[in-house]
Amino acid sequence: MLIDIALDAMGSDKSPDPEIRGAILAARTLGVRVHLVGPERTLRPLLARQMRRAGERRLPIKIVQASEAIGMSEKAAQAVRAKRDSSMRVGLKLAREGTVAGFMTAGNTGAAMATAKMVLGALPGVDRPALVALLPTSSGRPSLLLDVGANVDCDAKNLEQFALMGEIYARSVLKIEKPRVGLLSIGEEEGKGNALTRDAFPLLKQLPIQFLGNVEGRDIYNGNADVVVCDGFIGNVALKASEGLARLVRDSLRESLNSTVKAQVGALLSRKAFNDFKKRLDQSEYGGAPLLGVRGVCIIGHGSSNDRAIMNGIRVAAEFARAGVNAHIERELAWLARPSDPPANP
């Protein structure tokens, strides 16, 4: 049976082309029906052309009209209030009504989070929904970092909920059997860290999860932890710093390899190796960041998403919905509120 996923057609930096091609890839291979949300008059001819190019005549893709789009540089709060017929809002409404099982966008992250919280609302028991980043590690399996931007000035209880939600996601969607969960801090001993991590440590220790204790910044990438929990300010800084460093590395490598003819020949010979290398570190393979704790499925991809990243985002939305992540979260948070009554599947 097909699963219905709404896709914001106007999200990415180069929208709607990557979205349309990504929708075609997804509809062809993933067993999903894609609801492409955006201005119908623009999308209709583009979709027809890309279908022809792809050699497809019929695919489960439908267009849903939305007259407005929220730009990357728009301020989230303002845009959400002003643009009542944005593709994000219309797509998320489809999810709220149950027309689709999930929503994916590669648009403005702040606006997507704000719209999702407004349209879908939080799950019962969730104080603050959290945005997850999936990051490459040396184990080959991604690590989850949360929260990466939704919430600053968290308290220990927020981090406790993040740990639980992240663990459930890693288990249900990434199929990691016993996800190892770490608390992002400085220094590994229990007493190390700041006031927040010292408060959160005993709470995380009591959860029915495999808790590693404190982990350090490097553990985000070395495969030691599957889920790394932190305040949204820290998570966002760590993520953006990593993006900045990755860009510097890429540019420096490119510049060095262009510096002499010999180096250029060398680069040419190793082209496949470079592509493997890029793919290994490429977040677009993971297909976007889930927003955990809202009453519905919302996946937020990078603005630079290409068709493959869009397809992977749709795949993640479908897997999120199929795995019943939100029912798990609700059940375990209810248990957290009443610890005398343990959940059925701890």
Site for its own copies in 23-62 (CB under 8 A): none
Which residue, 29 or 260, has its beta carbon nearer to its own copies?
260
- Using the minimum distance from each CB to its own copies, give the nearer residue, 206 or 222: 222
Residue 325 is classified by DSSP as: H
- Rounded Cα distance, 333 and 114, in Å: 22
Nearer of residues 153 and 177 to its own copies, judged by Cβ: 153
**Piece of 31-39, 133-141, 297-305, 316-324 that binds its own copies (CB under 8 A):** 133-141
List, in order, residues 6 or more apart from 178 with CB less than 8 Å away: 171, 210
Query: Considering the rule CB under 8 A, would residue 78 count as an interface residue with its own copies?
Result: no
**Interface characters, 246-275, with its own copies (x: CB under 8 A):** xxxx-xxx--xx-xx-xx-xxxxxxxxxx-
337 binds its own copies (CB under 8 A): no
Of 283 and 326, which CB lies nearer to its own copies in the complex structure?
283
> With CB under 8 A as the contact rule, which of the stretches 59-67, 181-189, 307-315, 336-344 interacts with its own copies?
181-189
Q: In the chain, where does DSSP find H-type helix?
A: 17-29, 40-53, 76-82, 87-97, 109-120, 156-172, 195-205, 232-257, 261-269, 271-281, 307-322, 325-337
Q: How many residues bind its own copies (CB under 8 A)?
A: 61
CA separation, residue 184 to residues 41, 194, 229 (Å): 48, 10, 6
| Closest to its own copies by CB, 115 or 326 | 115
CB of 149 to its own copies, least distance (A): 6
Report which residue type is found at 30: L
3-state helix, strand, coil in the chain (%, to 5): 50, 15, 35
Contact between 259 and 268 (Cβ < 8 Å): no
Of 225 and 336, which has the nearer Cβ to its own copies?
A: 225
Which residues, other chains included, contact 322 with Cβ-Cβ below 8 Å and sequence gap of 6+?
3, 101
Q: In the complex, what is the shortest distance from the CB of residue 140 to its own copies, in angstroms, rounded to a whole number?
A: 10
Phi-psi category of 149—alpha, beta or left, where left has phi over 0 and alpha has psi -120 to 50?
Answer: left
Site string for its own copies, 137-176 (x = CB under 8 A): xx----------x--xx-----------------------
Other C-beta atoms lying within 10 Å of the C-beta of residue 139: 12
Q: What is the number of other CB atoms lying within 10 angstroms of the CB of residue 210?
A: 15
Whole-angstrom distance, CA of residue 219 vs CA of residue 143 = 9
Site string for its own copies, 215-244 (x = CB under 8 A): -xxxxxxx-------xxxxx-xxxxxxxxx
Nearer to its own copies, 102 or 129 (CB): 129
| Site stretch for its own copies (CB under 8 A), options 82-90, 114-122, 193-201, 293-301 | 193-201
Cα separation, 279 vs 306, in Å, equals 13
Which residues of the shown chain bind its own copies in the complex (CB under 8 A)?
136-138, 149, 152-153, 184-186, 193-195, 216-222, 230-234, 236-249, 251-253, 256-257, 259-260, 262-263, 265-274, 276-277, 280-281
